[in-house]
Amino acid sequence: MATRPPLPYTPDDADPATLPTPGLRRRLAAMLYEGVVLFGVLMIAGLLFSTLTDQRHALHGRLEMQLFLFCILGLYFAWFWVHGGQTVAMKTWHIRVVRADGGPVTWVNAVVRYVLSWLWFLPALAVAAALGLHTSRAYSLALLVGVIVHAGLSRLLPDRQFLHDRLGRTRLVTWRPAPRKR
């Protein structure tokens, strides 16, 4: 099996608007890794919420907790995107988010991108609910189909960006840091 040559480092003066789009496999791998990181973030945030609200049962204050976790996720992503354009997983997979014109992401761009990124999941969950599918297997299947459809749409869009990036006027680029000087 032939191995690919390593990606060149991104020069410090490179124009992000001209950088290539990372491959779909690499973007999905970064998403999977992000899920592992977010597991810890959400566990700590859930513990904090349940401690501060003296939650005695998981169903008490469920909607409030979901909204709190939604905001924690939004803050996590927006902060990293505004401060360097990369989350921990994006750094590992050499992916950076920039505005469509190549400039750095602003807070408005970050919040819009975060809200639009829920297009990965919400349509599939809405379809499952509309069809009366309420088992965990049905929801898992609906989510899997939704992710496949959303990822497949990137093959049809210009520059192979995800739909939420196109709508939010952002783009993902390949970004490799220069080697550290010793």
Q: What is the pLDDT of residues 59-78, one digit of tens each?
A: 777 789 889 999 999 999 99
Local confidence band at 49 (pLDDT 50, 70, 90 cut-offs): confident
Q: For residue 138, is it within any domain? A: yes
How is the chain split among helix, strand and coil, in percent rounded to 5? 60, 5, 35
Q: For residue 75, is it within any domain? A: yes
Highest mean pLDDT among 19-23, 61-65, 82-86: 82-86
> What pLDDT is recorded for position 9?
55
Local confidence band at 3 (pLDDT 50, 70, 90 cut-offs): low
Q: For residue 93, is it within any domain? A: yes
pLDDT single digits (tens) 102-139: 899 999 999 999 999 998 888 888 888 888 888 888 88
Question: In this structure, are residues 85 and 105 in contact, taking their beta carbons and an 8 Å threshold?
Answer: yes
12: pLDDT strictly greater than 70? no
Q: For residue 13, is it within any domain? A: no
Cα radius of gyration (the chain): 18
Half-sphere exposure (Cβ direction) of 169: Cα atoms closer than 13 Å: 10
Question: In this structure, are residues 154 and 161 in contact, taking their beta carbons and an 8 Å threshold?
Answer: yes
> What pLDDT is recorded for position 106?
96
- Number of compact structural domains in the chain: 1
Q: How many C-beta atoms surround the C-beta of residue 145 within 10 A?
A: 14
The H helix count followed by the E strand count for the chain is: 7, 2
Question: In this structure, are residues 39 and 32 in contact, taking their beta carbons and an 8 Å threshold?
Answer: no
SS3 93: coil
Tell me which amino acid residue 155 is.
R
Q: For residue 95, is it within any domain? A: yes
Tell me which amino acid residue 161 is.
Q
Question: Using the 8-state DSSP alphabet, how is residue 28 labeled?
Answer: H
Specify the pTM.
0.83
Domain containing 49: what range?
Answer: 20-174
Q: For residue 164, is it within any domain? A: yes
